[in-house]
Structure 1
Amino acid sequence: MPVITTATAQLVDVAVETLRTDAVQQFVKQETIVVDLTTDDGGTGTGYSYTIGTGGNSVLELLRRSLLPLLPGRDARCVEQLWHTLHAATHATTVGVITSLALAAVDTALWDLRCRRVGEPLWRLAGGYRQRVPLYDTEHGWLHLDADDLVAGAVDARAKGWSGTKIKVGRPTVADDTARLRAVREAVGPSFSVMVDANQAFTGAEAVQRARAFDELDLGWFEEPLPADDLAGHERLVAATTIPVAVGESLSSIRQFAEYLRRGAATIVQPDVARVGGITPWLKVAHLAEACNVAVAPHFLMELHVSLVAAVPNGRTVEHIPQLRAITSREMTIEGGQAVAPDEPGIGIAWDRDAMDDRRVA
């Protein structure tokens, strides 16, 4: 059996490529937590997770002190067993995003190792439903941008054959948000998807008010309208609007997703591999959503999520926000307006080790 011999972690800071703002925060940098595993038969696997500016050192310390020491001597093929072993070892800090981020870095490394061992790409080993998936733009929809900039970004995405664009909302007035969205809708026409994202900024009453104002704009979804732990608020909003309500990037366990789906409080789910604890739980969320006839449109991490959206039948689309270009030697492939899942063995990310070394902070 392939026995894990070494397990190491590092923290690499990656600057944002453009100013990114939403209703509650600014994306300062990506703290990238990278885990490398080796086995006694020469196998290797690399996984990662991230934060958007704070907390990376906490994740790194949890890995170094509590999780990575448990891996040497274990069978690398037993991914499910190892995930549960590590989860149990951090029982006092679960459910929680710091623990999920640490688990994800290990789990993605184990999947990378697994795929390499059998000579298969992630998209096929995780399900193999299709290789090409629709793509939508977020990079040109940030909250600080004016209507002209939003329109230019949306028109460009449409010209490339992408499926849609996402606009951040949460300006001080309903009229301001609505005017920006109306400008985009009028520019791209009715057949191009326009989604909105509030980043948990609204109260229940505000979310209902904005949803009613947005109703005429034929939106693809209303993302994170409320704080993620306001399950009842999301349930009321779904009942009050015809706009699909998208939730999930800030949920960190399968059971949280299950409760949202059980109560009909989300009509699109958006699991994030890093924040939900890895590929292993991400796939469970996706299949849970499939059983409820709900689509999956994951948050961020396009270089990894392209393979997972391709793997499952209810994968809807991939969010285009470039962030790994500074530490990889190859970008995600886009052909004919669609994202193409990598076909080489592994999770499909070509790391540039020299660039990572230059940006390593711990």
Structure 2
Amino acid sequence: MKITDIKCHRLKETTLLPAIPRNLIEYTLVRVLTDEGIEGDYIIWSEVPSSRPGAVAEALRQMRPYLLGEDPLLIEHHWQRLGKMWYTEKGPAFAAIDCCLWDIAGKKAGLPLYKLLGGARDKILAYASGEPPKSREEKAEQAVELRERGYRASKVHPFSMEDCRAVRKAVGDEMILIHDAIFALDVPEALRVGRVLEELRFHWYEAPLPAEDIDGYAYLTKKLDIPVTVELRGNYRTYLERRAVRIFRTISDFTGGITEMRKLATLCGMYGLNFEPHSFGGAYTQAANLHCMLSITNCEFFELPLVRGKEGAFDVGVQKGLRIDSEGYVHAPEGPGLGLMLDWDVVKAGEEYCLD
């Protein structure tokens, strides 16, 4: 099998997300075509500047000559070769290519990707993740509603500690709660907040400090009993060697794709740490993370994104997105590869970039 073309489509549909700067989320479909008619697909959502459609198209123009005529199943070869170019700068386009190649591999084998990767399980507990209502009362009400809809875990974003107390009181001990401070605190304040979260029996404490503050995270991890974590796009080895976090969390689908997630999951296992990828994003972002999570055992939760308390806002370009079952689990898609079906009406309504 040989790669015959790389295609890039800007989708017309967008998502308005109040919680993210430049809050209009755009979507880019990346397609890797082969001479056997098997196609690898991945849709990038624009959470970071380098994932905007124009930037993705330009990056793909640079990568395309290195992929045409090549065997798509030599995934590690392509990951190493492309990853060492451009001063080792990986990005969303690089990750999309990697995910497309894994999609092809699963389709060629006729297997859902998590099984091709080893298959540790076929479902994982999800936690609801999204921007909260404004008032304290509404925050508590939303947490109760999520619990009643089947969620057994939920992440709360910048809440005051009184908000956290109100939510814990509303849901009792029946619900697992996670706090994400979104890099907003300094070390003394982060320590004070962490002590309150311990009192309220929160499950983990995410992103209290900027991700580059390794000393700060090492200090918090030493001082607090609650596991501390932060999303990383680099400095992996230093964080592990310093034992700066107790849970390892990455945004690998924007840097090194499924291949990088697998490498990091194995490395975390050797350090006795859980690997909890950031899966807040589009449907293909969610699927790539889910297949990796289902192929390993040192991962506890799947992050299911909600907007205004509802699922599906990021399912742009797909026929069906991921949802929880009645017990709060997300199951693997049943189809081969990543298992998602493109909505071709949405794709055709968009714009195809010329990559020649």
In 2, the alpha carbon distance for the partners of 1:147 and 1:235 equals 32
Q: Which amino acid aligns with 1:357?
A: K
Q: Which amino acid aligns with 2:333?
A: P
In 2, the alpha carbon distance for the partners of 1:202 and 1:69 equals 45
In 2, the alpha carbon distance for the partners of 1:112 and 1:89 equals 23
Alignment match of 1:157 (pick from 123, 146, 154): 146
TM-score for the superposition, normalised by structure 1: 0.87
* 3-state DSSP of counterpart to 1:334: coil
Q: Deviations over 1:252-309 (max 9, x none)?
A: 24xx223212211111122224223200001111111122221222211333322221
Aligned counterpart, 1:3: 2
Q: Is the 8 A contact 1:33 1:105 kept in 2?
A: no
Q: Which amino acid aligns with 1:8?
A: K
Q: Is the 8 A contact 1:100 1:276 kept in 2?
A: yes
Aligned counterpart, 1:174: none
Taking a change above 3 Å as real, the CA distance of residues 263 and 221 of structure 1, as seen in their structure-2 partners, is: same
Is 2:265 aligned against 1:286?
yes
Q: Is the 8 A contact 1:28 1:53 kept in 2?
A: no
Aligned counterpart, 1:112: 103
Instruction: Figure out how many residues of one structure are paired with residues of the other and give that number.
Output: 339
Shift of residue 203, structure 1, vs aligned partner = 1.9
Q: Is the 8 A contact 1:138 1:319 kept in 2?
A: yes
Structure 2: state its 5+ residue gaps: 306-311
Aligned counterpart, 2:182: 199
Aligned counterpart, 2:324: 334
Shift of residue 230, structure 1, vs aligned partner = 1.1
Structure 1: state its 5+ residue gaps: 172-176
Shift of residue 214, structure 1, vs aligned partner = 2.7
* 3-state DSSP of counterpart to 2:244: coil
In 2, the alpha carbon distance for the partners of 1:313 and 1:155 equals 29
Aligned counterpart, 2:304: 320
In 2, the alpha carbon distance for the partners of 1:52 and 1:88 equals 24
> In the TM superposition, what are the counterparts of 1:173-188 in structure 2 within 5 Å?
177-188=160-171
Q: Which amino acid aligns with 2:36?
A: D
Q: Which amino acid aligns with 1:15?
A: T
Q: Is the 8 A contact 2:233 2:252 kept in 1?
A: no
Aligned counterpart, 2:276: 297
Instruction: Report runs of 4+ in structure 1 exceeding 6 Å deviation.
Output: none
* 3-state DSSP of counterpart to 1:326: coil
Alignment match of 1:84 (pick from 76, 80, 84): 80
In 2, the alpha carbon distance for the partners of 1:333 and 1:123 equals 17
In 2, the alpha carbon distance for the partners of 1:304 and 1:360 equals 24
Q: Deviations over 1:10-39 (max 9, x none)?
A: 33365336x542xxx446133333211111
* 3-state DSSP of counterpart to 1:242: coil
Which structure carries more relative contact order (alpha carbon 8 Å, separation 6+)?
2
Identity of aligned residues (%): 28
Q: Which amino acid aligns with 1:305?
A: N
In 1, the alpha carbon distance for the partners of 2:316 and 2:42 equals 17
Q: Is the 8 A contact 1:14 1:324 kept in 2?
A: no
Taking a change above 3 Å as real, the CA distance of residues 270 and 357 of structure 1, as seen in their structure-2 partners, is: farther
> Once superposed, what is the RMSD of the aligned Cα atoms?
2.0
TM-score for the superposition, normalised by structure 2: 0.89
Q: Is the 8 A contact 1:49 1:104 kept in 2?
A: no
In 1, the alpha carbon distance for the partners of 2:251 and 2:14 equals 20
